[in-house]
Amino acid sequence: MGRSYLDLSKDEKEHALALHKESIVIDSSIVSVIDYVAENMWLEDVLAGGLTASNLTVGMQRRFAEALAEIIEHNHWAKKNEDKVIVVKKTSDIERAKKEGNHGIMYGPQDSMFLERNVDFLDVAYDHGLRAMQLTYNWKNEVGDGCREKKDSGLSWFGEAVVERMNKLGILIDLSHTGDQTCWDAIEQSKDPVSFTHIIPRRSAPEQPGGYAEWANRATSLWGSFVEYSKQRGKPDEMMQACAEKGGVIGVTPFFAKKAGDSNLTDDTMDQLDETVDIVGIDHVGFGSDLEFPNTITRSAFIYKHPERIDVDYFTPLDKDWGYGYMENMPLFTMGLVARGYSDQEIKKILGLNFMKLFKRVWGA
């Protein structure tokens, strides 16, 4: 373990905060909320945390009409909040969001099942703002296999057509939950760079559950063992390197990072980030929270009414840092980067410039 963000001097903390404020900060995977009070909580939270843009999980429905309706609903919401929100369709929209102090939203479903085996639906979704898409979630679909499947047959014929169309339109291929062979096939076939927007290296996945993983291990059997799932969601070194060699970026997520014991999630996430930099280099690393705001808001409401149930029903970080909760404390991530000895320019790359370079290659300026 490297130096902790808790050990920064006053001057180092002030430097980290100033660096965070001036940087483009991108969250490459987040599940937002647009539902009355909750939507305001989410938007105010990311703005308070200095996030310039987020890749939103939308369109996870099984039917195209339902997925498109959700994207359109987000567009209406963005229009209603145009003094704070920009729908990102090209890289310059993120730059404009930073300049104006607004938040850019990118549409990136974590599954392709909504296509209903019709590749032309991608064109329609693109016209409404779709700019990234995960080929599969955890399970098998018409495109390929997810990381939780027993067997992985790789990209289907339809999957190859989807990759080709995504390249043609300029939609970022996301492989975060995708099975290994399907990932390899997509990396090989894609003419554009691809991304793992929210993963950790498989080699450094915690051997024992801690924090959120520990709670999830007790609370549900949906994923099986959470430790097993963290390894399935993690990617091997050579696959991450292949992604980087193609020009892709790996978003390190805190979702699996917490170790068992008294460590804090910020430092544990820095350990995963250091591992990722060791594998692919500083120019191919970013951040993807994988935070689900619906769960976070529900959890917060429950704890407000039942504070005695903290760390019984829901995990909260031991030192109450940003953890797997509200993003308003995202500057602590930057403090962690300063503590680990990254230079100012390297920190700016990790916070957002690496993803900006990737977006320009896939979407254009």
Residue 23 C-beta-side C-alpha neighbours within 13 Å: 30
Tell me, yes or no, whether 230 lies in a domain: yes
Q: In this structure, how many other beta carbons lie within 10 angstroms of the beta carbon of residue 12?
A: 14
Q: How many domains does the chain have?
A: 1
The tens-digit pLDDT sequence of the chain (365 residues) is 799 999 999 999 999 999 999 999 999 999 988 876 677 888 999 999 999 999 999 988 999 999 999 999 999 999 999 999 999 999 999 999 999 999 999 999 999 999 999 999 999 999 999 999 999 999 999 999 999 999 999 999 999 999 999 999 999 999 999 999 999 999 999 999 999 999 999 999 988 766 655 555 554 555 557 778 889 999 999 999 999 999 999 999 998 888 877 788 899 999 999 999 999 999 999 999 998 888 777 777 777 788 887 666 655 554 456 556 689 989 999 999 999 999 999 999 999 999 999 999 999 98
Give the predicted TM-score (pTM) of the model.
Answer: 0.94
Tell me, yes or no, whether 200 lies in a domain: yes
The strand ranges marked E within the chain are: 26-31, 53-56, 85-87, 103-107, 132-134, 172-174, 194-199, 249-252, 285-287, 291-292
Tell me, yes or no, whether 151 lies in a domain: no
Residue 47: partners with Cβ closer than 8 Å, 6 or more residues away: 84, 101, 103
Nearest to 334 by CA among 19, 2, 3: 19
Tell me, yes or no, whether 184 lies in a domain: no
Tell me, yes or no, whether 112 lies in a domain: no
Distances (CA, A) of 247 to 192, 196, 269: 8, 12, 23
> CB of 288 within 8 A of CB of 29?
yes
Domain hosting residue 266, numbered range = 5-107+193-358
Tell me, yes or no, whether 249 lies in a domain: yes
Tell me, yes or no, whether 116 lies in a domain: no
Tell me the C-alpha distance between 253 and 81, whole Å.
28
Residue 98: partners with Cβ closer than 8 Å, 6 or more residues away: 24, 52
Domain CATH code at residue 239? 3.20.20.140
3-state helix, strand, coil in the chain (%, to 5): 50, 15, 35
Q: In this structure, how many other beta carbons lie within 10 angstroms of the beta carbon of residue 40?
A: 14
Tell me, yes or no, whether 117 lies in a domain: no
- What single string gives the DSSP state of each residue in 66-77? HHHHHHHHHHHH
